[in-house]
Structure 1
Amino acid sequence: MGGPLGRVALLLAGVLLIAGCGDASDPLVASSPGSAATGATESAAATGATPRKPDVSPVQLRIPAIQVSTPLVGLGLHEDGTVEVPTNPDRAGWYELGTVPGQPGSSVILGHLDSLDGPAVFAELATLRVGQDVEVGLSDGTTVTFRIRRIATFANADFPADLVYAGSRGQTTLNLVTCGGEYDPDLGGYQANVVVFTRRVAA
């Protein structure tokens, strides 16, 4: 996923983030037409400092309904302010400047839809259904379970960055993002994003 997406600026008010889509050789790129700052990202943008790493971090993602079980890589920001994406299409990545899955706030995990070699880790993400579960294994050995509440496809230009990256409204949420929609090589690749919205299941 990639495409002719604008670069983003680090602003004192926050960091602008979106996941966009492009050609299959680079199937997941992050950019940002909307504002969606998290506390850690705001602090980093304002001070130039690297946020302190959390004591616990997500290390494994499991989605039983589509037989996904993958280690998670950490994703930060490129120098131009765009969000990093997994270099391996078979691995998903957690946006580590955001919320740790299981803590109050919006956590975001991004994964590729496909690559030049075929389907990638989130190839079947759009086939998920409301009510199915997503599990995140943490570095302390515990597992946090989330239940799918909504699945939506957004055109690249209409990606709701605020909602995805900072729209938890006090809830403990996890949002999964990949490419979707029509693939148009003349326009840079996939023209939409699939977002799976989940909320933590009470222990």
Structure 2
Amino acid sequence: MRIPAIGVEVPVSALGLNPDRTVQVPTDFREPGWFRLGPSPGQVGSAVILGHVDSHSGPAVFFRLRYLNAGDRVDVTLADGAIAHFEVNAVRTYPKRQFPARQVYGSHGYSALQLVTCGGVFDTRTHSYQSNVVAYTSLVSITTARAPGMTTPKN
């Protein structure tokens, strides 16, 4: 995954559900995770990639997510080598108790990618952030993978 506006270029792991049916979070603070029980990036529906904002040792992969702006690009390389190109529509912060799960994870009839991290005020008592930051994007295009051995024709 590449997010040039905030200097992110990292591999993405796969996430599922915890035993209590909550969404898993990445175990590596430098690597985000795709919620594999939803659509893949580029498919119709809301694909979701989660990443940490920071760790005890400093900033994590989505530390600068809150600074994305409408129009910024997000590129996700898919398993088949194709690249799904997304454009940021909006970035919103929600108190965790008011997290809009349907809006983030639900299908809205088009190909979307939501990037999610923690944010807002850090609660030192619970050792967690009180809010979540969500970057909403929509699919712009898909660049198909080249077949092995193919070269670009010269004019």
Query: Structure 1 regions of 5+ residues with no counterpart?
Result: 1-60
2:90 is aligned, of 150, 172, 187, to 150
- Whether 2:55 is the aligned partner of 1:115: answer yes
- Whether 2:140 is the aligned partner of 1:201: answer yes
Q: Deviations over 1:97-135 (max 9, x none)?
A: 001100000000000000011100001000110111000
CA distance in 1, matches of 2:46, 2:110: 8
Cα drift, residue 202 of structure 1:
3.4
CA distance in 2, matches of 1:184, 1:76: 26
CA distance in 1, matches of 2:18, 2:114: 21
Q: Relative to total residues, which structure has the larger helix share, 1 or 2? A: 1
CA distance in 1, matches of 2:63, 2:109: 30
Which residue matches 1:64? 4
CA distance in 2, matches of 1:110, 1:95: 8
Q: Secondary structure at the residue paired with 2:125? A: helix
Which residue matches 1:137? 77
- State which structure, 1 or 2, has the greater radius of gyration over its C-alpha atoms: 2
1:181 is aligned, of 120, 126, 140, to 120
CA distance in 2, matches of 1:169, 1:81: 23
RMSD of Structure 2 on Structure 1 (CA): 1.0
Q: Residue 84 of structure 2 contacts residue 141 of structure 2 at CA under 8 Å; is this kept in 1?
A: no
- TM-score scaled by length of structure 2: 0.89
Which residue matches 1:5? none
Query: Structure 2 regions of 5+ residues with no counterpart?
Result: 143-155
Q: Secondary structure at the residue paired with 1:79? A: coil
- TM-score scaled by length of structure 1: 0.68
- Whether 2:15 is the aligned partner of 1:75: answer yes
Q: Deviations over 1:54-105 (max 9, x none)?
A: xxxxxxx110111101101000011111111111100000000001100000
Name the count of aligned residue pairs. 142
The structure with higher relative contact order (CA 8 Å, sep 6+) is: 1
CA distance in 2, matches of 1:158, 1:182: 15
CA distance in 2, matches of 1:188, 1:88: 18
